[in-house]
Amino acid sequence: MIELYGQKFSSRLLLGTALYPSPAVMAEAVKASGAEIVTVSLRRETSGGKAGGQFWSLVQSLGVRVLPNTAGCHSVREAVTTAQMAREVFGTNWIKLEVIGNHDTLQPDVFGLVEAARILASEGFEVFPYTTDDLVVAERLLEAGCRLLMPWCAPIGSARGAQNPDALRSLRGHFPNVPLIVDAGIGRPSHAAAVMELGYDAVLLNTAVAKAGDPVAMAAAFGKAIEAGWGAHCAGLLEPRDMAVPSTPVIGMAALS
């Protein structure tokens, strides 16, 4: 079980709802993945008209927890306003907070992120901040009122997997009691398993499933990979060694002269 802002969930996969070939495929992918939390963009809901309302009804029918996001926001004011609107539309204090600082890499503006997080936390929001793997930024976000962190492992949609596993490992070691959810850059189930083996609590992804040849099958594969990675972490992984170590005992073996 994973606990996020006092709510417990069995699945450690959070799934996005954008980019799928159709809403029906999205719904089947969510079911196949076992995800209990999905992210939804306020921009899609408010700009879709009648279609947006139908999409929201479909999401509600899945029986999952909705995590609205501030995707596409490039300033503190824009992110805070979007979060406030999302609370009205979706009826939740949860918000995935994104304040984008670079158009090419979609890297978070960490200065604006901390400022927006502080404002929203003071207004009663339960903030899921999309951040970098920087320890100092992580500390500032926790001081601002966040109770979990969502570091990237590569640029959004890049499918590269963990680009700096040492930084992710350091972040995990520095905050042993803070829920950490890897967000952005995962392209394969093996990438997800690898970060879960580091001791991360969950993974949030979208593009790797939505743009797969078979999104439903890929969603199921990611669900299994995340479960396997977490299970391996809990079981205790064998650390790499410089020398070979025989798996079969040599003591008591016959000595031939």
Maximum distance among all alpha carbons in the chain? 86
- What is the mean pLDDT of the segment spanning 146-153? 96
Structure confidence by residue, pLDDT tens digits, 159-200: 898 999 999 999 999 999 999 999 988 999 999 999 999 999
Q: What is the pLDDT of residue 134?
A: 94
Which of 8, 31, 50, 96 does the annotation list as catalytic?
96
224 is catalytic: no
Q: What whole-number distance in Å separates Cα of residue 2 and Cα of residue 179?
A: 8
The stretches of the chain forming alpha helices (DSSP H) are 23-33, 42-47, 49-61, 76-90, 110-122, 135-144, 165-174, 189-197, 207-210, 215-235
- What is the mean pLDDT of the segment spanning 142-149? 97
Structure confidence by residue, pLDDT tens digits, 16-73: 999 999 999 999 999 999 999 999 987 645 545 555 568 888 888 899 999 999 998 9
What count of other Cβ atoms lies within 10 Å of the Cβ of residue 159?
15
pLDDT band at 126; cut points 50, 70, 90: very high
Among 157, 149, 112, residue whose Cα is nearest residue 132: 149
Q: What is the pLDDT of residue 50?
A: 55
